Structure 1
Amino acid sequence: MLDLWKHYPQIAKQLNDVRSLMHQLLSSNNQAIQALLNDCAQQQGKMLRPGLFLLFAQLGQPDKRQTEKLTKIATSLEILHQATLIHDDIIDDSPLRHGTITIQAKYGKDTAVYAGDLLFTIFFELLIETMNGTPYLKINSDTMRHLLHGELNQMAARFQQQQPISNYLANIKGKTAALFRLACMEGAYFGGLNQPKMVALAAQIGENIGISFQIYDDILDYSSSTVTLKKPVLEDVAQGVYTLPLLLAYQQHPAEFDQLLAKKQQISKSEIQLVSQLVKKYHGVKQAKQLALNYTHQAIQQINQLPSGKAAEELQQLTKKLLKRTF
């Protein structure tokens, strides 16, 4: 988090407040759950969703009396994100995330499920405290539905190498971009930039940033090492989650992939490496990068329509920086 936000000192300071509030809220009388929650509070990663929320809130030049409320809403976004990560790691049986052993691997699936559920209850409490009387109780509910549908559709598409690119994009609009969209919308609305046109623009920007972010995340699986990426690379292929670089390369030369991918769960590590080599050979990574860049360009063009000033400039810088990250 420090590396990403060190050039945005005001946002970094506010994110420290978010972190402090999370430490206060993540509590349980159950010792195993409390130990897990302590780890969860300490393992926060890029803090992108609350950071984007706070950047958009700055565009509206919010009253200082709103600071506590904005901190709570930003915290709700990170808690929702953390809850979904815990459940994702349970489903994926993933051993590592960001170089650290996952919650489910360390504490067991049962404890992780209960902890994820507890995070959802804390999330709902923050919504009730900050959003009663606004449209955003329903908007949060709709966003959670989009997140779930994105994950369910991705699960349904496992081991389907012939799925259309449009299906992949629809899935990541749900499982990833929906929360980016929510963060930016809420920032505009609760920060005071709450004209319908501006809120709609914020939503579009968030969705484009989120789509680009997820595409680039999927690219890193083919272009980074486990040490750099801080998670097992090519884990998606082993689990039958075929992301954009593979889907694009497959469209060019399906016959070369079919024999390997037909093995499904029985595919070996060496065969997964061969899939990776084919993805690069047939320009899957290159084409995926271009599509991520297109969504980033769309977001930047939309950011240019926001009120000019420091917050908009920082938003542009951050959007470009996300395409240069190594994990």
Structure 2
Amino acid sequence: MSKIFKNYPEIMDELEDVKKIMKKSIRSSEKYFDEAISPMINNGGKLLRPGFLVLSGKFGDYEKDRFNNLAAVIELLHMATLVHDDIIDESNLRRNTESIQSKYGKEYAVYTGDYLFSQCLIMLSEYDYDRENLKNISKVISKICLGEIKQFNFRYATNMNFRKYVRVASGKTAALFSLSLFVGAKESKCEESITKTFAKIGYNIGMAFQIIDDLLDYKGDNKSLGKEAQRDLIKGYYTLPLIFAINEDKNDGIKSILNKDMLDNNDIEKIIKLVNKYEGVKKARNVAKKYTFRAYDNIEKLPECKWKNVIKEIAKGLLERKY
């Protein structure tokens, strides 16, 4: 279970229920799906998106079963994108276990991601959810796809810049964080101004989260990250720490390495040293702080209740995380 929510037993209990709903949703006559997907659910991930949905829902008219089902949809949607990501990136590790595409092959992984998407649609039909929420969920699926395509089109681009990076991260990551907080508030019948504030909070937390994820790629290892470190760099996805370092490297030493046909371990080590030399990680962390502080400002606009400070504490924890 997510370490992020360990100090909030009420949210932890809700997330345990969300996991049970997810496990139930993947059962079918084809035993493969349960065998392949269960390890991803059991190993948990951070469960941030469903956790945020539950939190924003508690600012209004909260119904446990209704909201936990919706939270499970959001997490299954996220998992579907991860399964497909691993195919494209040829990743062997996901949530500290062998990825589906590595263990079962790309064909099965494609079907698994599609199956997860289909289960999301079925689960959304089980309750009379707000029409605007259903529309926004569909829009965000589209945004995620567009963000992934943008990222793919920018592969190996040594002229990658901050503006392009934000376009990718906002679609690929921030959109789903924003959706999670918006959907919870909207479904609990919060005022429109509050739901919009939650959407902004989610966007800023999501951007900070992605930036921290990217800088940890230059600091962490496979075990601590739960996935393969430096995978983005190897596959040609140049993220913010590297972008900042390239801009500071007037001798083009980093570009000369990146322009090689294939990078070996020695090349990766050189790039990591240069990224740290030019303070790419430090500068990226400062940008993550700015997004987090924007989230803080928006959190202050929320109505007073015990959950308001919880959201702020979690945003702070995500900024300081090492995994």
TM-score with structure 2 length normalisation? 0.96
- Of 247, 265, 268, 1:269 maps to 265
| 1:97 Cα offset (Å) | 2.0
1:84 and 2:81 equivalent?
A: yes
For 2:124, the equivalent position in structure 1 comes to 127
State how far apart, in whole Å, the 2-side matches of 1:73 and 1:156 are.
Answer: 32
State how far apart, in whole Å, the 2-side matches of 1:205 and 1:24 are.
Answer: 31
For 1:256, the equivalent position in structure 2 comes to 253
Q: Is the 8 A contact 1:32 1:111 kept in 2?
A: no
**Structure 2, unpaired ranges of 5+:** none
State how far apart, in whole Å, the 2-side matches of 1:31 and 1:192 are.
Answer: 39
Q: Is the 8 A contact 1:33 1:111 kept in 2?
A: no
For 1:146, the equivalent position in structure 2 comes to 143
1:306 is aligned with what amino acid? L
For 2:134, the equivalent position in structure 1 comes to 137
Identity across aligned pairs (percent)? Answer: 36
- Of 92, 105, 108, 2:105 maps to 108
| 1:20 Cα offset (Å) | 0.7
| 1:3 Cα offset (Å) | 2.1
Once the two structures are overlaid, the 10-residue window that deviates more, 30-39 or 310-319, is 30-39
Q: Write out per-residue CA displacement over residues 150-191 of structure 1, whole angstroms, 9 at most, x where no aligned residue.
A: 000000000001122101011100000110010000111112
1:56 and 2:59 equivalent?
A: no
| 1:29 Cα offset (Å) | 1.6
1:163 is aligned with what amino acid? M
| 1:130 Cα offset (Å) | 3.0
State how far apart, in whole Å, the 2-side matches of 1:33 and 1:98 are.
Answer: 17
Q: Is the 8 A contact 1:150 1:173 kept in 2?
A: yes
Q: SS at 1:322's partner residue? A: helix
Q: Is the 8 A contact 1:131 1:137 kept in 2?
A: no
State how far apart, in whole Å, the 1-side matches of 2:151 and 2:232 are.
Answer: 11
1:271 is aligned with what amino acid? D
| 1:131 Cα offset (Å) | 4.8
| 1:44 Cα offset (Å) | 2.1
For 1:157, the equivalent position in structure 2 comes to 154
For 1:20, the equivalent position in structure 2 comes to 20
For 1:186, the equivalent position in structure 2 comes to 183
State how far apart, in whole Å, the 2-side matches of 1:313 and 1:52 are.
Answer: 13
Q: Write out per-residue CA displacement over residues 180-207 of structure 1, whole angstroms, 9 at most, x where no aligned residue.
A: 01000011111231x1111111100000
Q: Is the 8 A contact 1:49 1:179 kept in 2?
A: yes
| 1:133 Cα offset (Å) | 5.4
Q: SS at 2:304's partner residue? A: coil
Q: SS at 1:3's partner residue? A: coil
Q: SS at 1:307's partner residue? A: coil
Q: Write out per-residue CA displacement over residues 192-238 of structure 1, whole angstroms, 9 at most, x where no aligned residue.
A: 31x11111111000000000000000010011233322322211111
Q: Write out per-residue CA displacement over residues 247-268 of structure 1, whole angstroms, 9 at most, x where no aligned residue.
A: 011011151112100015x111
| 1:278 Cα offset (Å) | 0.4
1:324 and 2:320 equivalent?
A: yes
1:196 and 2:182 equivalent?
A: no
For 2:165, the equivalent position in structure 1 comes to 168
1:43 and 2:43 equivalent?
A: yes
1:198 is aligned with what amino acid? I
| 1:41 Cα offset (Å) | 2.6
Q: Write out per-residue CA displacement over residues 287-324 of structure 1, whole angstroms, 9 at most, x where no aligned residue.
A: 00000000000001100110112100100100000012
For 1:304, the equivalent position in structure 2 comes to 300
Once the two structures are overlaid, the 10-residue window that deviates more, 302-311 or 107-116, is 107-116
State how far apart, in whole Å, the 2-side matches of 1:93 and 1:200 are.
Answer: 37
2:100 is aligned with what amino acid? I
| 1:282 Cα offset (Å) | 0.3
1:270 is aligned with what amino acid? N
Specify which structure has the higher proportion of helix. Answer: 1
- Of 68, 71, 74, 2:71 maps to 74
1:175 is aligned with what amino acid? K
**Structure 1, unpaired ranges of 5+:** none
Once the two structures are overlaid, the 10-residue window that deviates more, 151-160 or 227-236, is 227-236
| 1:32 Cα offset (Å) | 2.4
State how far apart, in whole Å, the 2-side matches of 1:41 and 1:201 are.
Answer: 30
Once the two structures are overlaid, the 10-residue window that deviates more, 72-81 or 101-110, is 101-110
For 2:277, the equivalent position in structure 1 comes to 281
State how far apart, in whole Å, the 2-side matches of 1:77 and 1:21 are.
Answer: 12
Q: Is the 8 A contact 1:26 1:41 kept in 2?
A: no
State how far apart, in whole Å, the 2-side matches of 1:192 and 1:10 are.
Answer: 21
Once the two structures are overlaid, the 10-residue window that deviates more, 251-260 or 223-232, is 223-232
